[in-house]
Amino acid sequence: MIGPQERWYRFAARRRRGTGVHVPLHPSYRCRACGAAWPCPPARLSLLIDFRGNRVGLMIYLAAHLARALEELPDTHPALIAGQILHWVPRRR
């Protein structure tokens, strides 16, 4: 498990390299790199790797995004936003 500081360094390094960073655009909550609904498949993979062993941390991180997305997308049904932001996370085994 990596901490928030290391996660930030890795994110900053990816951004410096100029590779497509799959982060949400605001207020659309679509991916800045590929245009898909965020988190897009590359963002989901990256989140699962970054939060490996820290499912609670991942859910807290996504809950913060959910709160922001609910504010930014007032015309979208909340259940659809929750599905997009939260419901892709694999269940615990």
User: What are the residues binding Zn ion (CB under 5 A)?
Assistant: 22, 31, 33-34, 40
**Least distance to Zn ion, CB of residue 27, Å:** 17
H, E, C per residue of 21-82: CCCECCCCCEECCCCCECCCHHHHHHHHHHCCCCHHHHHHHHHHHHHHHHHHCCCCCHHHHH
**Least distance to Zn ion, CB of residue 49, Å:** 15
Which CB sits closer to Zn ion, 22 or 69?
22
Which CB sits closer to Zn ion, 31 or 81?
31
